Amino acid sequence: MKKPALLIIDMQNDFASKKAVLPVAGAENVISPLTQVLSEFRARNLPIFHVVRVHHPDGSDVEWFRAEKFKSTPFAVRRTPGADVIDELKPKPGEYLLEKTRMSAFIGTGLDLTLRTLGIEIVVIAGIQTPNCIRTTVFDAMAYNYETVLVNDATGAQTREIHEANVLDMKNIGVTVINAPDLANWLDSI
């Protein structure tokens, strides 16, 4: 059996909670399917990575194209409630919390090294948002030679059209796309 790991991307209070300072439209729609995915990985004792975007309070590590936005509305500031994972998906002991400052979970982090150390061959990706952090993480996972699976209904974007266009692009590079209700059978098949 190939060993999978779950990467949950940016499901943080500042983006996906009722008190979000930069709410991602549709984020609330992925919580229920994502909870199902998380439960399945927990039941099988498979590695789970909660990937969160965090920034210094002064914004010195924010991308240049988001710097003005950060000045007016600071988001995902390290060690603030806004940077925390939403309550519905809170990490449990033994799960990984990975901080990033860029869109991809692989850029400037120890994710690849940790995955390889754990013997992971497949990454299962879910969270928000499809055209940005999800897409860049997926493309980098493929570039690092991981078999990559996207959980379609546990991933979201500002509109259904944006989400679907990006999912089609990911399918076209060889990403497997499944839905949360099909995860258990898919895991049984690998």
Predicted pLDDT at 103: 96
Whether 43 maps to a domain, the answer reads: yes
Whether 172 maps to a domain, the answer reads: yes
Predicted TM-score (pTM) of this structure:
0.96
Whether 148 maps to a domain, the answer reads: yes
159-169 residue pLDDT tens: 999 999 999 99
94-133 residue pLDDT tens: 999 999 999 999 999 999 999 999 999 999 999 999 999 9
Whether 170 maps to a domain, the answer reads: yes
125-157 residue pLDDT tens: 999 999 999 999 999 999 999 999 999 999 999
Predicted pLDDT at 25: 84
Task: Please give the tally of structural domains in the chain.
Answer: 1
Distance CA 50, CA 74 (A): 21
Residue 148, number of CB atoms within 10 A of its CB: 24
Predicted pLDDT at 108: 95
Domain that holds residue 110: 4-52+85-189
Predicted pLDDT at 26: 85
Predicted pLDDT at 11: 98
Whether 36 maps to a domain, the answer reads: yes
Using alpha carbons, select from 46, 49, 163 the residue that is nearest to residue 112.
49
Using alpha carbons, select from 151, 159, 161 the residue that is nearest to residue 25.
159
Is 90 exceeded by the pLDDT of residue 37?
A: yes
56-106 residue pLDDT tens: 999 999 999 999 999 999 999 999 999 999 999 999 999 999 999 999 999
Whether 16 maps to a domain, the answer reads: yes
Predicted pLDDT at 48: 98
pLDDT band at 185 (very low <50, low <70, confident <90, very high): very high
CATH number at 92 reads: 3.40.50.850
Predicted pLDDT at 33: 98
Token pair recorded at residue 76:
């995902």
Whether 19 maps to a domain, the answer reads: yes
Q: Which residues of 112-125 are buried (b: 16+ CB within 10 A; e: fewer)?
A: beebeeeebbbbbb
